[in-house]
Structure 1
Amino acid sequence: MREAQFLVVDTLAATVDELCRKFGVWKTTGALILAAWRRRQMKNQMSHLPNRMLRDIGLPESENAPGEARFFPWDVRF
Structure 2
Amino acid sequence: MHNEQSLVEISLKDKIQDLVERFGAWRIALAVLSAAWRQQQRRNLTSGLSDRMREDIGLPVDGDRRLPSRLSLWDLRV
TM-score by length of 2: 0.50
The aligned counterpart of 1:31 is: 31
Higher helix share: 2
| Identity among equivalent pairs (%) | 25
Q: Per chain length, whose mean CA-contact separation is higher, i.e. which structure has more relative contact order (CA < 8 Å, sep 6+)?
A: 1
- In the alignment, structure 2 segments of 5+ residues that lack a partner are 54-66, 72-78
Distance (whole Å) between structure 2 residues aligned to residue 25 and residue 17 of structure 1:
9
- Unpaired segments ≥5 residues, structure 1: 63-78
Instruction: State the AA in 1 paired with 2:38.
Output: R
Higher alpha-carbon Rg: 1
User: CA RMSD of the aligned region, Å?
Assistant: 2.8
**CA displacement at 1:34 relative to structure 2:** 0.9
AA aligned to 2:40 is R
- Rounded to whole Å, the distance in 1 between the matches of 2:30 and 2:2 is 39
Match of 1:59 among 53, 64, 68: 68
Quote the offset at 1:41 in angstroms: 2.7
